[in-house]
Structure 1
């Protein structure tokens, strides 16, 4: 505590010292590591200035996560929520990937859904829940926190007057319930991936305002 206070406002115990405090490793012959924004070091303290430098490798991060989970120090859902709240924050990409590996397998029912999951992974988008009930309708893909629904429209199952009318009723019900609906056709998922990724990313980042857009 004295070392952290000596380094001024914004200083945090970090690196091996923080790991030792949480019981990750022995404190024998341990140096004192402190991270702080733009401060000068103090005798006996290894000061790490906060910046954009990667501090651990993905393998080291994976081992740290596994140990933290064994020690019951990590709330996986809270960590996943943090990644979804700050998708562009530097350093969270590796963490998001590792957390995604620990999620329960997605229930993929169609080839189009399988392609969409691969598309989300390729575009570094958070994975949605699939085939879940929202406002009385089973939707293809859903991000609960952002209240965003994506419907995947293959021509085979969405052509014809009946399908057209059912889709509009579904969209209206979801809109009234406060959800945003984004329709993505199989053709656009194949041919306009960059534009589709940009649209999904924008909606995930935006505040939930009840607006509705279609692709």
Structure 2
């Protein structure tokens, strides 16, 4: 993997200033930061560990932390947080942002920011990735509670972080759910995901208008026991006074705009029948 050496380490081996410069010219030594070198080209985790050796206070964030969590190649320059009272002097290997993370964690010995700060520090042209990243980090029935706890770690939630949180459909169990509920959020409709109504958890609930939205993927929901549960679950919602809407994953994949428009129309009280589904749904154009 290559060694990380400080100037003191090199001197202890009898390698002094002129020899260091010679090794750098020969490509046998690479200067990462002031007083810190690597014996191999600094990239990936070797680069981050060398930077952390040079500046122990660094907390990697943004694209760098996202790449580490996703086991992706590390883009250079790496992005890291520094306290407001510290120098913002970066380098060709390092881009610094002044700020703090609500919490930090060690990922294989490398300190990274929490998912909220990581998402906020993603590049502007990767905001959709930042939103979907938050949705993945805070998925499942306890997602909203975990997000609430993460936000509470900030004395003041930055505006940019709040914007991303408002766009993210947290609490879902599948990518299909997240796609739909994110699209609804873009229209100003916020569904509570994985909310329990009666004895059942519902994919999405709009309590003010008493509308429940469910998504049934073919692979999971075709089992007889699951189908029976789905029918009684839907009936339970109607008995409790809710309008119950159900869509397949194919509906979201092929007709997201139409699904969003129908849900919005129901919530706004202006829904109209849309005609026989076999006349317009693209699924019926697919060969069996």
The structure, 1 or 2, with the larger RCO (C-alpha pairs under 8 Å, 6+ apart) is 1
Larger gyration radius, structure 1 or structure 2: 2
TM (norm. structure 2) is 0.35
TM (norm. structure 1) is 0.46
